Structure 1
Amino acid sequence: MTACIALLGGSFDPVHNGHIALAAHFVQLLHADRLRVIPTLPWQKSALVATPEQRAEMARLAFAGQPFAAEIDRQEIERNKPTYTVDTLRALRAELGEATSLCFLMGADQLERFDTWHDWQSLFGLANFCVAARPGFTLDGPQVPRAVAAEFRQRLAPPHTVRATPAGLACLAPDLAVDISATRIRAALQQGGEANSLVPQVVLDYIEQHNLYKN
């Protein structure tokens, strides 16, 4: 059987329960063998609060207690410069081989600006893309760029087909509603508010120990 690796990239500033829910949902849906969690140095975002090491450690703590195999992939933070998803996928493809099914996980909000990703149309030659669609979301909606919608529509396939295919397919999971914003969490922490329902306790403990996201 083809090996299937789920990939979850993000700034994780901080990691939150939405990241975990997204990963868990697709790991189960795809029967993925492993999850690679990739802390990023995104070129599209403004300055991050936590250091790369802190963000990687928060991700490690959050995913260590999950009932599926997960590992932290440090390649982007070790490059020590803003990087593109296409570069990371090329490196993963070189490492894991042409036959491995690489499944990049993302939320619907990322799909809405997918055409701003560097060299976005070549990404399908390197991986499959699995999107958690919030209730009421459709590819034909006004938020999704027309070119992105057309590309995804022609590549749509059921999870079992995506799992068995190295790259080039897309999967929409319409039954996962995740509405958690890292910006909202940072604001709550900064104001001394409660974030218990949004962030794993082990991560909250780390944030407290390292005095992160305070004024």
Structure 2
Amino acid sequence: MSGAVGCVALLGGSFDPVHAGHVALAQLFTDLLAPNQLRIIPAGNPYQKAPLHAAAEHRVAMLTLAFDAAHLPMVIDRQEMARAGASYTIDTLRQVRAELGPQVSLVFLMGADQLQHLDSWRDWRRLFDYAHIGVAARPGYSLAAASLPALVAQEISVRQGSLEQLRTTPSGRVFLAPALAVDISATQIRAALHGDDQAGPLAGSLIPPVVLDYIQQHHLYKN
């Protein structure tokens, strides 16, 4: 896509494992933005989280199964998995921008829970130099200014843009999307998978069935 004007939606995360909330977030912004590309970026060593439980190749395999099952075409960007040391979103966005050029619209997707901690991310204000941010509310997390850190609320207030602005300009805007009717955490899923008795019914309601099959076949998240 280098040299061409288009829109690329970026979804990063540990995906340990990928779950229905990730797929729903990607589907929401695919419907809203109709991006030319949906790029999934699995973390290598996320600096704000505990060590990852599943190996990189297992996480990639589960992502492929989940998004294929949802009929959501995507590409997997392995840059963070290949990076030595901690993974920082600012470095990832710089690299994607350098790859795709200055004119392409980049929209980095996140849930409201991440927005509430955005000011703890490295060089968080500079994220807007490289991309827009698309945020979806989720149960229990408000996008109201009063619920956000003051510095984040101030930044968001001057950067809110329309979907059309996100699609047609390279970076710098924020779009706050309606709530996703999905409230899932990977920690919750791993706890369910750790106990064999309830892994099937509980985890099966939180993650795509093809991913649950893969986890069981490869005996993941048991220890």
Give TM-score scaled by structure 1 length: 0.95
SS at match of 1:7: strand
Q: Does 1:29 align with 2:32?
A: yes
In structure 1, how many angstroms separate the alpha carbons of the residues matched to 2:150 and 2:5? 32
Which of these residues, 66, 70, 73, is aligned with residue 69 of structure 1? 73
In structure 2, how many angstroms separate the alpha carbons of the residues matched to 1:181 and 1:17? 10
| Structure 1 counterpart of 2:170 | 166
| Structure 2 counterpart of 1:148 | 152
Instruction: Report if aligned partners of 2:69, 2:210 keep a CA contact under 8 Å in 1.
Output: no
| Structure 2 counterpart of 1:100 | 104
| Structure 1 counterpart of 2:214 | 206
Deviates more, 1:101-110 or 1:57-66: 57-66
Structure with the largest fraction of helix: 2
Which of these residues, 183, 186, 189, is aligned with residue 185 of structure 1? 189
In structure 2, how many angstroms separate the alpha carbons of the residues matched to 1:27 and 1:97? 21
In structure 2, how many angstroms separate the alpha carbons of the residues matched to 1:140 and 1:88? 27
Instruction: Report if aligned partners of 1:114, 1:148 keep a CA contact under 8 Å in 2.
Output: yes
Q: Does 1:13 align with 2:9?
A: no
In structure 1, how many angstroms separate the alpha carbons of the residues matched to 2:182 and 2:71? 20
Gaps of 5+ in 2: none
In structure 2, how many angstroms separate the alpha carbons of the residues matched to 1:107 and 1:167? 18
Give TM-score scaled by structure 2 length: 0.91
Q: Deviations over 1:47-83 (max 9, x none)?
A: 1111122112211221123333201111100114321
Q: Which 4+ stretches in 1 moved above 3 angstroms?
A: none
Q: Does 1:38 align with 2:41?
A: yes
In structure 1, how many angstroms separate the alpha carbons of the residues matched to 2:84 and 2:15? 16
RMSD, aligned α-carbons: 1.5
In structure 2, how many angstroms separate the alpha carbons of the residues matched to 1:68 and 1:164? 22
| Structure 1 counterpart of 2:5 | 2
In structure 2, how many angstroms separate the alpha carbons of the residues matched to 1:158 and 1:197? 34
Instruction: Report if aligned partners of 2:160, 2:175 keep a CA contact under 8 Å in 1.
Output: yes
Gaps of 5+ in 1: none
